[in-house]
Each structure stands twice: as C-alpha cells, then as structure tokens.
Amino acid sequence: MADKTPLFDAHVAAGGKMVDFAGWMMPVNYGSQIDEHIAVRTNAGMFDVSHMTIVDIDGPDAEAFLRKVIANDVAVLAEYQALYGAALNAHGGVLDDLIVYRLPKGYRCVVNAATREKMLDWFEAQALTNMRIEHKPQIMLAVQGPEAIAKLIAATDLTELSIKPFFAAAHGDWLIGRTGYTGEDGVEVMLPVAQGLGLWQALLEAGVQPAGLGARDTLRLEAGLNLYGQDMDETTSPLISNIGWTVAWEPAERGFIGRYALQGERSAPAHKLTGIILEEKGVLRHDQPVQTDIGPGLVTSGSYSPTLQRSIGLARVPSGASGECSVDIRGTMKKARLVKPPFVRKGKILVN
C-alpha cells in the first residue's frame, strides 16, 4: 500500500488523478498537465513535494560529514544559503542529487523520494562520531512561476519576501527557500504537517494552480534539470551528467567520496549529457537510441514540450557530438538536433 502525503484528500478534492510514484500516491495531473505547465510558466502553480525526504544534520561533525559525502563543498555556504550537489559512491557514480541548506544550527538536506531508504542508510553508514541525523516528516510545497512570490505573500501573513535565489529564510516554524525545479522564479516552503493544509487552501484561494507530477516533469525537462534514476544513476558520474559544475575540486585536500574515481575521468569524459530536439513529428522517450556523426548515444529523458510545442529531451552522447543527429523511434530513424540545455528559462525559449 502506497503512502499518502498529508495533502492527499486536498489533491482528490482538487480533481487530482492519483498515481503511485516511488511508493507515494501523488497527483499526476488535475485535468490537463499542459494547462498546469503553462500556469507555472505564465502565472503561478504549486506542487506538493512532501514525499521528498527532509534530513536535518547537526553537531560538531556535521560539516565534515557533508564535505565527505557530497561532491560539492558546503564549507562555502553562508547562513541560510543553499547548494545543489551530488552524493557519489566510491566509483564516482551518482547515488542521489540533493539540495543542502546551511541553517543557524546545522544543515538541512532534501533528497529524492525514490532514494529515501538508500540515502538514509548511506548517511548512517558514513556518519561521523559527533553528529545527529534526523528525518522529520514535514509538508513541502513548491510554489513556482512569475507570480509565485506575490501570491504567496497574498496568501499568508508575509508582508514581503526578499530572499535571494538559492537562499532561504525562516518564518516562524517555516523554512522558505528560493529554489525550485521548474526554471521559473519561486519558492519551496517547508512547514509543520499541522499547517500544511491551511497554506494549500490559502494558495488555492489566492489563485495558485495545483500542478501534478506530469507538469513537474515537463517543466524540469524544459529547464534542463536532471531527474535522478532517469538521466543519471549509480553508473554515471556527474561529469557525464551535465552537473560537472557541482563537483568542487578545490580545495584539493578535501577527500569527498568518489573523488579519486572522478579524477581519472576529469580531463576527458567520454560522454556528455545534453539537450535534444526532435525535428520531426513524434515524441522522444527514455532509452531511445541516438545516432550522432561520431557514435551512438541514448535519450535519457524525453517528452513533449508545451512551451516549444515539439518534443525535446536529454541525451547522453559522445563528448564531441553536436548539431544534427537521428533518433530511432520504434524502428524509424527521425531527424533530431543536439542543443545546449536549458530549453526554457523564466518563460523564455533559449534554443533555436
């Protein structure tokens, strides 16, 4: 039996079509995922992301622990600053991607729903002596879109919100991060379970469109953001997953897990993860073979882009590949083109 977030009944009441996602009953859409996608690009939408795993880590060894298990370096973080990074295995493969917030007392990590058990076990296994790991269920609502912050203010007792991108702020029991997974401005609000439904209702009344996992996927794909388990996993390094920028090589003496394995790949990764646009009718999907001038690749994510009104995707291809290529869709080779992601950011199309 799949878990339900505390907002399950609210999703059903809003017309949510509930599906099992990583052991959680979540809304895939509330009618039309394309309409929800457009609402986020042009106005404001909200996603219940309470199925994601919030892990608080504190104690004297907390920083040393995170500098060991995450390839990005939390030592650079100011108070309430956030950072995106990857936890790697010893072979340099990606165990998970996560966001880490530096809080006045310790750190907060948000890891994926599908990797919850694995990551909690991994953190316990790697834990240092003087630290504490606490996983506390909370409501997490992502409010995203050009009008997201204005509507959050209208729906709450907030009078202003002046958080810089990739920073957070405390508001009573809430933690509000100016982060997201859509390529639009917006926030992710973490708050106690008892207050979650109230915020959901207030946002609904302020005109924020509930948006499901379907829209979340097409928004993140247009924004060129990876989905763990699909675009990258334990067999792919961050260097071939378009997140090489999250690997903090300096200081050289910081021995994060996976560093040694990545070192060999650093100067010349054989592959890259990049964007792909289908030039013919059809839809790109995960695992479709790609043929480039210099060798084969694979589509890792593919869907229909409501903003570009054509199919787009991410593909892992030989490092030197660019421009025209072809994709095998059910036995037919269709014309496609490699482009640098993101496809869309802040409502604007960034590719030709």
- Distance separating alpha carbons of residues 257 and 88, to the nearest angstrom: 6
Binding mask 232-271 for other proteins (x = CB under 8 A): ----------------------------------------
Cα separation, 116 vs 3, whole angstroms: 13
Asked if residue 27 binds other proteins (CB under 8 A), the reply is: no
Which residue of 12, 28, 133, 161 would you call a contact of other proteins, by CB under 8 A?
28
Interface with other proteins, residue 29, by CB under 8 A:
yes
Residue 283 is a binding residue for other proteins (CB under 8 A): yes
Task: Give the nearer residue to other proteins in terms of CB position, either 118 or 286.
Answer: 286
214 binds other proteins (CB under 8 A): yes
Candidates 160-168, 202-210, 235-243, 302-310; binding stretch for other proteins (CB under 8 A): 302-310
Residue with Cβ nearer other proteins (216 or 271):
216
348: CB partners within 8 A, 6+ apart: none
List 104, 281, 323, 352, residue binding other proteins (CB under 8 A): 281
Compute φ and ψ for 202, nearest 5 degrees: -65, -40
- 14 or 34: whose CB is closer to other proteins? 34
Separation in Å, CA 324 to CA 125, 241, 317, 320: 46, 20, 12, 12
* Number of residues in the chain: 352
Contacts of 199 by beta carbon, 8 Å cutoff, 6+ apart:
139, 141, 155, 156, 189, 191
For other proteins, the closer of residues 29 and 237 by Cβ is 29
Residue pair 273/241 in contact (Cβ under 8 Å)? The answer is yes
Site size with other proteins, rule: CB under 8 A? 17
Whichever of 287 and 324 has its CB closer to other proteins, that residue is 287
Reference 173, options 195, 149, 154, 156; nearest CA is 195
Q: Alpha carbon of 70 to those of 89, 127, 240, 322: distances in Å?
A: 10, 13, 17, 31
Residue numbers at the binding site for other proteins (CB under 8 A):
17, 28-29, 32-34, 214, 218, 281-283, 285, 303-304, 306, 311, 330
